[in-house]
Amino acid sequence: MKVYGIFGNLQFDSIVIACNTAHILLPQIKDLLSIEPNSLILATQKHISSKNLNEVGLLASPTTIRAQLFGSSSNFLTLDEEGIKQTEQVIRAVIAGKQSKVAKELKSLIFQLKQQGATHIILGCTELSVAMDEDGDESLIDPLSLVVDEIIMKQSRV
């Protein structure tokens, strides 16, 4: 609400809620905006559907997983409680500016999901997108990149 007070009278072409977990508040946020925000969640769901992906793993904050923001937890492979705690530690390290120190651990978490049978893995927290170095791993689904691509395509049509 405070941010809306600052930006509420300005005109925007695009708005992105750049935090997956913040999508919990999407209905309230939408009520404050004059345009539909670009959603990391919807962009990811569209991508998965358009590619007809099945065995998809989800790396995300405990809140995002519990709230089932990407859809029913039965549709995604997730880590056990210990793996979810490790994921949260990686997220907190990135927030603290230590992403270079967690790359190995993040790759280990991704490997664990692949061992469970995941053919593709959603980086379901923006901090995970930031921490993952671009190593050309086609199995990773980066919601942040998907939304950027959506905005670029939308703007190129204007």
Number of independent structural domains in the chain: 1
How far apart, in whole angstroms, are the C-alpha atoms of residue 130 and residue 106?
11
Enter the DSSP assignment of 57: E
Q: Please count the other Cβ atoms lying within 10 Å of the Cβ belonging to residue 24.
A: 14
Q: How far apart, in whole angstroms, are the C-alpha atoms of residue 144 and residue 72?
A: 21
The predicted-structure confidence for 98-137, as pLDDT tens digits, reads as follows 988 898 999 999 999 999 999 999 999 999 998 886 667 8
The domain that holds 145 is classified in CATH as 3.40.50.1860
pTM for this entry: 0.86
b/e for 30-65, b at 16 or more Cβ within 10 A?
A: eeeeeeebbbbbbbbbebbeeeeeeebbbbbbeebb
Question: Tens digit of pLDDT per residue, the chain (158 long)?
Answer: 455 555 556 666 777 888 888 888 777 776 777 777 889 999 999 999 999 999 999 999 999 999 999 988 788 999 999 999 999 999 999 999 998 889 899 999 999 999 999 999 999 999 999 888 666 789 999 999 999 999 898 878 76
The sign of the dihedral angle between the CA atoms of 47, 50, 51, 57 is positive
Domain extent at residue 87: 2-156
